[in-house]
Amino acid sequence: MKILVTGGAGFIGSHVTRMLLNSGHEVVVVDNLSQGKKENVDKRAQLVVADIRNIPESTFKGVDSVIHMAGLIIVPESVKDPVKYADNNVIGTIDLLESMRKANVKNIIFSSSACVYGAPKTLPIKEDAPVHPDNPYGASKAAIESFLQAYNANFDFNVTILRYFNPYGPGEMHEPETHAIPNFIKAALAKKPIPLYWNGEQTRDFIYIEDLARAHIDVLSQTGHNIFNIGTEKGVVVKEVLNEIFNILGYKVPIDNLGKRPGDVQANYASSEKLKKSVGWQAKVDLKEGLKKTIDFFRSV
């Protein structure tokens, strides 16, 4: 198949692109390089430097499916500037969908987030849990999901929504970096105080990047309208992740307690049973192995 990957120069997008290519697919990456890096894109892929609002029509020639991963992702920033997130993520996605419709490309896999659930009433979180985002980033993802449902209903789009929990792994080099694991590892390797919110008492579902990327290949043949969680189904207290990093490194560093952070929820972890039943996917890399691989990457850069 020929797959167009928006945001394919980013952390997750570059891993998905590489896995698609290794699986024998042809890949076109569309990225405006505002966050992603050109060097992240596998040389076997075609790179089109463009914003999702104005992708050249010729880019869609021969494309069978779009994996849509482009978007702003920083929760605290979304709290400070909700309009920016509505404009870029939601309106940008509608522009993409209209470009797809004109090109008669009607298959899309969307990179959504566990943020759409907000603070869950029950754990693990299943796909039928209420959508109740607690921050504008999550609200932008929920709004996009609603538009995708409308395009399925009105224009016969095949839509698969993947709600990510907490991806981590080699290659995560956001600027600025707001995610826990890369910040913990970089600080620990530099032997500087580790930035920690909420005293590390939050519970999260950390999913290794290769497991996450593999799910996108597994759902390529899905039709209709589908929503799947992608997580390990195991909730881990953040301070336990920190202790595991210290165990791997063989030393500890001080903690920089940053207090509360707006937009965070106390606990979430996934039920991915629906995805397992549909395509046989399940997480394979446990936290210890994933952290070791991620530490090795940051030691090498």
Task: Extract the tokens encoding 89.
Answer: 């993520």
DSSP helix/strand/coil, 145: helix
| CA separation for the pair 301, 279 (Å, rounded) | 36
* Side-chain-side CA neighbours of residue 293 (13 Å): 14
| CA separation for the pair 223, 65 (Å, rounded) | 11
Residue 208 annotated among the catalytic residues of the structure: no
The Cβ of residue 287 has, within 10 Å, a number of other Cβ atoms equal to 18
Transcribe 189-235 into DSSP letters: HTT-PEEEEGGG--EE-EEEHHHHHHHHHHTTT--SEEEEEES-S--
Catalytic residue among 117, 137, 151, 168: 137
Q: Is the Cβ–Cβ distance between 261 and 148 less than 8 Å?
A: no
| CA separation for the pair 274, 149 (Å, rounded) | 19
DSSP helix/strand/coil, 46: strand
Q: Is the Cβ–Cβ distance between 230 and 165 less than 8 Å?
A: yes
Positions annotated as catalytic residues are: 137
